[in-house]
C-alpha cells in the first residue's frame, strides 16, 4: 500500500535501520523496485528527481501516477518522494501528484541563501502535510557534472552548521556530505564515519545518504549503524539495467520486441534492488 515517507523514515530511524529510496525513471524502474522490495519483504521509497521530470518532457504526472498505482497495489508499504527539487514550480506540484515528501535542494547556494530558500520551502511543505529533506554541504556529481572521485573535504557537512541549519529551517531530514558523491559507477567511496558520528550526535532529525551507488556494502551497513535512516540509490539500478540489456542485445541481434530486453533489464534491476535492501534495510539492534 501507499505509505507516508516520513513514517517510513521515522520507523527505520527508531529501529536503527534505513529505508532505501530508489530513483525511478521508467515504468520498468517502478515495477522492478516494487518487486525487489516485495521479495525482500521491506518498505521502500520510490523517488522522482527533477532531472527525471526533465527527461519525461518536463511532465511529472504520468510517472507519478504510475508510481502511485504501483504503490497502492504493492504487498509492502511504498512511499513516494520528489527528489532534488530546485524549481519552486515543481515543488508546488508535489501534493497533486501524490507525493508525501520532498527533498528541496538549494545546496548549490551559499549558506544564508540555502537557509532562506529551504526555510520557505519547509514552511510551505509543512502547511501541505509533507515531510521535507534538505542538503547542507555538497554531495558532488549532480546535474550531469562529472562525479568527484575524492569528495573535497571543504564540501563536507559541518556538524555545528548543520545543527543551526536544521533548527532554523525546520526541515525533517538532512542529506549530509560525508565523502559520498553522486553517479559513481565504481563502489569506491570512503565515508568519513567520525564525521557521521558527530553529525548524528548534533542533530535530532534522520540523516540521509545520497550518492549511495558508489558506497561499498560494508560502508553502507556502517552508515546505517551510524545513524543514516534514508539511503538514496539511483545509478546502481541503471547500471544493472543497462548491463543486462547490453548483454542481451549482444547475444540476440535478431531481437526486436522491446519486452524482451526491457524484461531482462527489469529483472536485473529487481535483483539489485532486493540485494541492496538486504544490505541496507535489515534492522540492526546494535
Ligand atoms: O538522490 C539520489 C541519489 O543521491 C542517487 O545517487 O545515483 O549516485 O546512487 P546515485
Ligand atoms: Zn541525491
- The three cell numbers locating residue 257: 520486441
- What is the DSSP track for 76-121? S-EEEEEEEE--HHHHTTTTTTT-SEEEE--TTS-HHHHHHHHHHH
Q: What are phi and psi of 231, to 5 degrees?
A: -120, 115
What does the domain layout of the chain look like in residue ranges?
A: 2-281
Examine the predicted complex and report whether its ipTM is higher than 0.95.
yes
What's the gap in Å between 101 CA and the centre of ligand 2? Answer: 14
Pocket of ligand 1 (CB under 6 A): 23, 83-84, 182-184, 210-214, 232-236
Residue 64 to residue 46: CA distance in whole angstroms? 9
- How many other β-carbons are positioned within 10 Å of the β-carbon of residue 118? 27
3-state class (DSSP) for residue 182: coil
Reported as a single tens digit per residue, the pLDDT across 148-181 is: 544 566 689 999 999 999 999 999 999 999 999 9
Index of the ligand 1 atom closest to the CA of residue 103: 1
Residue 196 backbone class (left: φ over 0; alpha: ψ -120 to 50; beta: rest): alpha
Please give the Cα distance from 264 to 33 (Å, whole number).
14
CA-CA distance, 135 to 132, in Å (whole number)? 10
Phi first, then psi: give them for residue 98, nearest 5 degrees.
95, 15
Query: In this structure, are residues 210 and 179 in contact, taking their beta carbons and an 8 Å threshold?
Result: no
What is residue 141's predicted lDDT score, i.e. its pLDDT? 86
CA-23 nearest atom, ligand 1: 2
- What is the number of other CB atoms lying within 10 angstroms of the CB of residue 156? 20
Query: Do residues 86 and 53 touch, judged by C-beta distance below 8 A?
Result: no
Query: What are the residues whose beta carbons fall under 8 Å from the beta carbon of 108, sequence distance 6 or more?
Result: 86, 138
Q: At 273, phi and psi to the nearest 5? A: -65, -45
User: Mind listing the pLDDT tens digit for each residue in 101-156?
Assistant: 999 999 999 999 999 999 999 999 999 999 999 999 989 888 766 555 445 666 89
Give the Cα separation of 208 and 20 in Å (integer). Answer: 10
Domain spanning 2-281: CATH 3.20.20.70: yes
Ramachandran sector of residue 211 (left: φ over 0; alpha: ψ -120 to 50; beta: rest) = left
Mean pLDDT of the chain: 95
Prediction pTM value: 0.96
CA distances, 95 to each of 17, 39, 59, 121 (Å): 27, 29, 15, 13
| Per-residue pLDDT tens digits for 40-97 | 999 999 999 999 999 999 999 999 999 999 999 999 999 999 999 999 999 999 999 9
Only one residue has cell 535542494, namely 105
Q: What is the pLDDT of residue 45?
A: 98
Confidence band for 15, pLDDT divided at 50, 70 and 90 = very high
CA of 137 to the centre of ligand 1 (A): 15
Whether 47 and 83 have beta carbons less than 8 Å apart is answered as yes
Helix (H, G, I), strand (E, B) or coil at 195: helix
182 Cα nearest atom in ligand 1: 8
Confidence band, pLDDT 50/70/90 cuts, at residue 286 = very low
Active site residues: 83
Ligand nearest to the CA of 213: 1
User: In angstroms, what is the span from residue 211 Cα to ligand 1's centroid?
Assistant: 4
The SS3 assignment for 284 reads coil
Amino acid at each position: 500500500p501507499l505509505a507516508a515517507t516520513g513514517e517510513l523514515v521515522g520507523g527505520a530511524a527508531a529501529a536503527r535501520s534505513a529505508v532505501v529510496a530508489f530513483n525511478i525513471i521508467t515504468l520498468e524502474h517502478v515495477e522492478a523496485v516494487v518487486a525487489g522490495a516485495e521479495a525482500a519483504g521491506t518498505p521502500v521509497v520510490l523517488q522522482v528527481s527533477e532531472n527525471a521530470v526533465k527527461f519525461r518532457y518536463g511532465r511529472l504526472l504520468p510517472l507519478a501516477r504510475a508510481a502511485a498505482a504501483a504503490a497502492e497495489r504493492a504487498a509492502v508499504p511504498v512511499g513516494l518522494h520528489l527528489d532534488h527539487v530546485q524549481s519552486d514550480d515543481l515543488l508546488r506540484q508535489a501534493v497533486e501528484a501524490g507525493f508525501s515528501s520532498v527533498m528541496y535542494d538549494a545546496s548549490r547556494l551559499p549558506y544564508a541563501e540555502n537557509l532562506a530558500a529551504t526555510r520557505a520551502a519547509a514552511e510551505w511543505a509543512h502547511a501541505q502535510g509533507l515531510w521535507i529533506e534538505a542538503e547542507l554541504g555538497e554531495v558532488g556529481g549532480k546535474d550531469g557534472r562529472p562525479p568527484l572521485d575524492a569528495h573535497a573535504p571543504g564540501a563536507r557537512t559541518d556538524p555545528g552548521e548543520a545543527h543551526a541549519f536544521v533548527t532554523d529551517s525546520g526541515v525533517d531530514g538532512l542529506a549530509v556530505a560525508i565523502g559520498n558523491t553522486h553517479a559513481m559507477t565504481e563502489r569506491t567511496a570512503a565515508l568519513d564515519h567520525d564525521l557521521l558520528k558527530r553529525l548524528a550526535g548534533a542533530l535530532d532529525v534522520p540523516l540521509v545518504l545520497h550518492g549511495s551507488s558508489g558506497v561499498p556494502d560494508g560502508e553502507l551497513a556502517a552508515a546505517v549503524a551510524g545513524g543514516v535512516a534514508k539511503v538514496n540509490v539511483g545509478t546502481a539500478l541503471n547500471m544493472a539495467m543497462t548491463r543486462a540489456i547490453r548483454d542481451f542485445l549482444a547475444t540476440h541481434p535478431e531481437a526486436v520486441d522491446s519486452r524482451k530486453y526491457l524484461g531482462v533489464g527489469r529483472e536485473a534491476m529487481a535483483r539489485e534492488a532486493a540485494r541492496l535492501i538486504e544490505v541496507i534495510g535489515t534492522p540492526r539492534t546494535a
